[in-house]
């Protein structure tokens, strides 16, 4: 299990926490001076008050909290945020309100979840041809409706 060094940029910040023994994502908490109201179809940047040192070969992936997204329509605007291993600034979440009513985010509220995952960097090279497959150039929905 990798150890993640986390620096509090605000004394009120809360280190990421796991909700259960087998949770993949650790909850990120809002650090606010006052409640933030996010209007329908609006996005606001919410601070966590944390900077962290993601290990080389890993990325911090910021996902929606399922309850927040399904019950209140609040989810990261970019669907999945990426914290690169060389980023040392504050981790923030661009929360978007997908609901039809204004949503209020309070200080200390769990706003997203962070999954630390390994990744592979690829060396992209231009090719004249690609190998054939059964699917071929079939795009969206081309593998069936089941």
User: Which tens digits make up the pLDDT trace of 37-64?
Assistant: 999 999 999 999 999 999 999 999 999 9
Q: Confirm whether 131 is domain-assigned.
A: no
Q: Phi then psi for 114, rounded to 5 degrees?
A: -110, 125
Q: What one-character DSSP code corresponds to residue 54? A: P
User: CA 6, CA 76: separation in Å to the nearest integer?
Assistant: 21
Q: Tell me what pLDDT residue 135 has.
A: 82
What's the CATH code of the domain at 38? 2.70.40.10
Q: Tell me what pLDDT residue 39 has.
A: 98
Query: What region does 139 belong to: left with phi over 0, alpha with psi -120 to 50, or beta?
Result: beta
What's the chain's average pLDDT? 95
Say yes or no to pLDDT of 144 above 90. Answer: no
User: CA 71, CA 66: separation in Å to the nearest integer?
Assistant: 8
Q: What one-character DSSP code corresponds to residue 56? A: T
Alpha carbon of residue 5 to chain centroid: 18
Q: Confirm whether 136 is domain-assigned.
A: no
Q: Confirm whether 46 is domain-assigned.
A: yes
Q: Tell me what pLDDT residue 137 has.
A: 81
Q: Using 50, 70 and 90 to split pLDDT, how confident is the model at 77?
A: very high
Q: Tell me what pLDDT residue 145 has.
A: 60
Say yes or no to pLDDT of 65 above 90. Answer: yes
Q: Tell me what pLDDT residue 146 has.
A: 59
What is the domain extent for residue 39? 5-118
Q: Tell me what pLDDT residue 136 has.
A: 81
Q: Residue written as tokens 């497959």?
A: 133
Q: How many domains is the chain built from?
A: 1
Q: Using 50, 70 and 90 to split pLDDT, how confident is the model at 140?
A: confident
Q: Tell me what pLDDT residue 81 has.
A: 96
Region 19-25 average pLDDT:
96
Question: Which regions of 21-133 does DSSP assign to beta strands (E)?
Answer: 26-29, 36-38, 43-47, 50-53, 58-63, 74-76, 81-83, 92-97, 103-105, 110-118
């Amino acid at each position: 299990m990798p150890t993640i060094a986390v620096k509090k940029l605000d004394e009120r910040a809360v280190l990421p926490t796991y909700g259960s023994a087998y949770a993949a994502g650790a909850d990120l908490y809002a650090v606010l001076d006052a409640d933030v109201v996010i209007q329908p179809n609006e996005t606001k940047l919410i601070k966590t008050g944390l900077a962290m040192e993601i290990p080389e070969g890993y990325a911090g992936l910021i996902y929606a909290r399922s309850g927040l997204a399904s019950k209140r329509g609040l989810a990261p605007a970019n669907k999945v945020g990426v914290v690169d291993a060389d980023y040392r600034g504050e981790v923030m979440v661009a929360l978007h309100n997908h609901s039809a009513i204004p949503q209020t985010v309070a200080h200390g509220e769990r706003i997203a979840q962070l999954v630390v995952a390994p990744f592979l960097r690829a060396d992209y090279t231009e090719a004249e041809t690609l190998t054939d497959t059964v699917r071929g150039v079939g795009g969206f929905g081309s593998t069936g409706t089941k």
